[in-house]
């Protein structure tokens, strides 16, 4: 009985950790899912320009993603609809780690 109890507790812990990971989407996974198709898996550029070593700050990148910029070509004329403000921040921080 005590053993069962312990495995239930560990199962709950594992679930909690897993949920935490899924909720706080990490920038790298977001980049792979939503940006790499155009900017390349390492941000080396593809359809879109290279992002590694960008001179933009993380804030400027997050702004571009969440607000769009009329002076830019699609898809960045408009905000990227599938990206929350928090997601934009994590993915922008990830872009700044690409070298
Ligand atoms: C459908 C293709 C596509 C997707 C998806 C896409 N981009 Fe872009 N991105 C572009 C293109 C094309 C440009 C160039 C726009 C221009 O210069 O007018 C660009 C430009 C940018 C720039 C500005 C670069 C600079 O030096 O001015 C940043 C930053 C950027 N993208 C980040 C992202 C991030 C982060 C994601 C994922 C959340 C993403 N993009 C998704 C195609 C895409």
* CA of 36 relative to ligand 1 center, distance in Å: 10
Determine which residue's CA is closest to atom 13 belonging to ligand 1. Answer: 48
* CA of 37 relative to ligand 1 center, distance in Å: 10
* 61, 27 Cβ separation under 8 angstroms: no
pLDDT tens-digit map of 8-43: 556 655 555 555 444 446 999 999 999 999 999 999
Which tokens belong to 13? 């812990």
Instruction: Please give the domain boundaries of the chain with CATH numbers for all domains.
Output: 26-97 (1.10.760.10)
Average the pLDDT over each of 5-19, 40-54, 79-93 and give the range with the smallest value.
5-19
**Rounded mean pLDDT of 62-75?**
97
Q: Count the Cβ atoms, other than its own, within 10 Å of residue 73.
A: 9
Determine which residue's CA is closest to atom 34 belonging to ligand 1. Answer: 35
Which tokens belong to 64? 């571009």
């Amino acid at each position: 009985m005590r053993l069962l109890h312990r495995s239930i507790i560990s199962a709950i812990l594992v679930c909690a950790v897993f949920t935490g990971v899924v909720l706080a989407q990490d920038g790298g996974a977001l980049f792979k899912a939503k940006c790499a198709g155009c900017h390349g898996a390492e941000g080396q550029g593809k359809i879109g320009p290279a992002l590694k070593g960008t001179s933009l700050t993380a804030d400027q990148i997050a702004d571009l993603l969440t607000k769009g910029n009329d002076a830019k070509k699609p898809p960045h004329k408009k905000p990227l609809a599938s990206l929350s403000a928090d997601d934009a921040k994590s993915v922008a921080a990830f872009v700044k780690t690409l070298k």
